[in-house]
Amino acid sequence: MEITNIKKIKCGKILEEVDLKKYTTFKLESKARYLVIPKSISELVNLLKFLRTNNIKHKIIGNGSNLIFLNSYYDGVLIKLEELKDLKIYDNKVIVGSGYSLIKLANKMSRLGYTGLEFATGIPGTVGGAVYMNAGAYNSDMGYIVSEIKVLTPSLEIKTIYNKDLNFHYRQSFLQKNKDYICLEATIILKKGNKEEILELIEERKSRRLMSQPLEYPSAGSVFRNPANDYAGRLIEEIGYKGKKIGGAQVSEKHANFIINTGNATGKDVSSLIYEIKDKVKKKYNIELKVEQEFIE
């Protein structure tokens, strides 16, 4: 069956020939044949049944803050879950849809005087993406606050997975090793705190980020995980790669663990730079740097 038959099924909003600069934080030169935004879980199920039955390439995306599309064209279907954004607050328990903005949630709960999400006020992903990546900062991450998630299983059934079975480790989770499970919603447990202190801490960290990170350029945040007892940025500086450029991709002069898009960078530019850095660090220090981003063919 032709991929164009996607227009005949009830699966949400369908966009064609999509410029991925609008849907990724790196804003790399790339397009996708289709981007679909299901408005409900039932529409998502309809879509997945169609895609699987017809063996059509597809990928779930959040805010695209950790994705690098390697080719100039993604000949398949990207699925964005931004409409799964229900939010219910029961005192310190929050039940939130996977498409909800993590920054928005972190700021909202902090302003309500809850502590536990301060680390997330600078992470530009969705709740679902953050659970998938076990996103974190400042010695905290999603694994500390997520008590359970609701997922769509490979057999398209809705199931609850609890924290103990989500295998949260540094930038890792059960979902990364089981990519056919789709996070639909997360239950987050916070604590009551001192609102003024919480907001003061957030402002202080924001100022520090603005001074130390190249936020004026498109990027995907930190490129590499920090190795044990060391910093990826330090190692990249030591091999002389601060400011190193390939095409439109450049290692930031401000923070060496950021690769920025200085103009019309492609996924190939970014990946070439990443693999050069990995190779040089491995040769000089025998350290295998781990990439935080996901490469999409």
Instruction: Say if 228 falls within a structural domain.
Output: yes
Q: Are 103 and 121 in contact (CB under 8 A)?
A: yes
Say if strands 58-61 and 73-80 run parallel, antiparallel, or are unpaired: parallel
Q: Are residues 154 and 220 in the same domain?
A: no
Which pLDDT band, with edges at 50, 70 and 90, does 190 fall under? Answer: very high
**What pLDDT, on the 0 to 100 scale, is given for residue 14?**
98
The angle at the Cα of 29, spanning 24 to 31, to the nearest 5 degrees, equals: 75
Fill in the amino acid letter for 164: K
Q: Which domain holds residue 38?
A: 3-80
Which pLDDT band, with edges at 50, 70 and 90, does 2 fall under? Answer: confident
Q: Are residues 100 and 190 in the same domain?
A: yes
Lowest average pLDDT, out of 41-45, 226-230, 232-236, goes to: 226-230
What percent of the chain is modeled with pLDDT above 70?
A: 100
Instruction: Say if 23 falls within a structural domain.
Output: yes
CA distance 100 to 135: 15
Q: Total domain count for the chain? A: 3
Instruction: Say if 27 falls within a structural domain.
Output: yes
CATH of the domain at 97: 3.30.465.10
- How many angstroms separate the Cα of 226 from the Cα of each of 1, 82, 236? 46, 30, 11
Q: Are residues 189 and 220 in the same domain?
A: no
Q: Are 31 and 74 in contact (CB under 8 A)?
A: yes
What percent of the chain is modeled with pLDDT above 90?
A: 97
Which pLDDT band, with edges at 50, 70 and 90, does 263 fall under? Answer: very high
**What pLDDT, on the 0 to 100 scale, is given for residue 1?**
60
Fill in the amino acid letter for 216: E
Asked whether residue 134 carries a pLDDT value surpassing 90, the answer given is yes
Q: Are residues 97 and 187 in the same domain?
A: yes
CA distance 137 to 117: 10
Q: Are residues 192 and 120 in the same domain?
A: yes
How is residue 138 written in tokens?
Answer: 């400042």
Q: Are residues 69 and 120 in the same domain?
A: no
Residues designated catalytic:
171, 222, 292
Q: Are residues 179 and 277 in the same domain?
A: no
Residues 87-98 have pLDDT tens digits of 999 999 999 999
Q: Are residues 180 and 249 in the same domain?
A: no
Instruction: Say if 106 falls within a structural domain.
Output: yes
Q: Are residues 117 and 184 in the same domain?
A: yes
Q: Which residues contact 187 (CB under 8 A, 6 or more apart)?
A: 93, 94, 95, 146, 147, 148, 149
Last residue of some domain: 49, 80, 111?
Answer: 80
Instruction: Say if 34 falls within a structural domain.
Output: yes
Residues 160-175 have pLDDT tens digits of 999 999 999 988 999 9
Instruction: Say if 209 falls within a structural domain.
Output: no
Mean pLDDT of the chain: 96
Q: What is the mean pLDDT of residues 245-272?
A: 97
Q: What is the mean pLDDT of residues 6-10?
A: 94
Exposed / middle / buried, residue 94 (Cβ in 10 Å: 0-12, 13-18, 19+): buried
CATH of the domain at 11: 3.30.43.10
Q: What is the mean pLDDT of residues 123-129?
A: 95
Residues 208-231 have pLDDT tens digits of 998 999 999 999 999 999 999 999
CA distance 125 to 133: 10
Instruction: Say if 153 falls within a structural domain.
Output: yes
Asked whether residue 294 carries a pLDDT value surpassing 80, the answer given is yes
Q: Are residues 165 and 146 in the same domain?
A: yes
The residue with tokens 């990170």 is 213
CATH of the domain at 261: 3.90.78.10
Q: Are residues 222 and 190 in the same domain?
A: no
Last residue of some domain: 64, 80, 96?
Answer: 80
**DSSP secondary structure string for all residues of the chain:** --GGGGGGS--SEEEEEEEGGGT-SS--S-EEEEEEE-SSHHHHHHHHHHHHHTT--EEEESSSTTEEE-SSEEEEEEEE-TT---EEEETTEEEEETTSBHHHHHHHHHHTTEES-GGGGG--SBHHHHHHHT-EETTEEGGGTEEEEEEE-TTS-EEEEEGGGS--BTTB-HHHH-TT-EEEEEEEE-EE--HHHHHHHHHHHHHHHHHHS-TTS-EEEESBPPPTTS-HHHHHHHTT-TT-EETTEEE-SS-TTEEEE-SS--HHHHHHHHHHHHHHHHHHH---PPB-SEEE-
Last residue of some domain: 134, 168, 196?
Answer: 196
Q: Are residues 105 and 181 in the same domain?
A: yes
Which pLDDT band, with edges at 50, 70 and 90, does 48 fall under? Answer: very high
CA distance 294 to 212: 24
Instruction: Say if 202 falls within a structural domain.
Output: no
Q: What is the mean pLDDT of residues 272-287?
A: 97
